Structure 1
Amino acid sequence: MVSISFGEKIKIILKRKNMTIGELAEKTGQTRQNLSNKFSRDNFSEKEIRKFAKILECEFDFYFIIKDTNEKV
């Protein structure tokens, strides 16, 4: 199974919502350059991801799954 980064997931959602990184940056009070740098480093806090989800009108769940029991933590 191929894992994609949070940045790539956000870019997919942006494309589906016809929104640019610049527009997302504006809505979050960041510069486009700063947000682009975060995308290149895939360096987002959970708080930022939740803010993106709200702006993009998406649900976001963040959890671990214990492999031997499939329990979500």
Structure 2
Amino acid sequence: MTTLEQIKILCLRSNISISELARRMGQSPQNFNAKLKRGTVSTKELILIGKILNATFEQYFVLKNGEIIK
């Protein structure tokens, strides 16, 4: 699932438009949509999206032996 798809689902479940999310992030909807389409949303922005939408953003690797690298 792409970042764009994840954010669309989060917005849908949080009853907020992507444009409103962008405004709450302090960005123009046009700029934010361009970032989503290019796939250039930063980790810092993903954490902010989580805070705005009352969710937790987690990013980590899991090795084959089950070890988690955060």
Is TM > 0.5 for Structure 1 vs Structure 2? yes
Deviation at 1:22, TM superposition (A): 0.8
Deviation at 1:41, TM superposition (A): 1.1
Deviation at 1:71, TM superposition (A): 1.1
| Separation in structure 2 between the aligned mates of residue 50 and residue 27 of structure 1, nearest angstrom | 13
1:30-45 equivalent positions in 2, closer than 5 A: 30-45=27-42
Match of 2:20 among 23, 43, 48: 23
| Separation in structure 1 between the aligned mates of residue 5 and residue 36 of structure 2, nearest angstrom | 8
Structure 2 residue aligned with 1:71: 67
Deviation at 1:17, TM superposition (A): 0.8
Letter of the structure 2 residue corresponding to residue 36 of structure 1: N
Structure 2 residue aligned with 1:58: 55
| Separation in structure 2 between the aligned mates of residue 13 and residue 70 of structure 1, nearest angstrom | 28
Match of 2:6 among 3, 6, 9: 9
The C-alpha deviation readout for 1:8-62, integer Å capped at 9, x for no partner, is 1111010111111110011011000001101111211110000000000001111
What residue ranges of structure 2 are gaps of 5+ in the alignment?
A: none
The normalised TM-score by structure 2 is 0.92
Length, aligned pairs only = 69
**Percent identity over paired residues:** 39
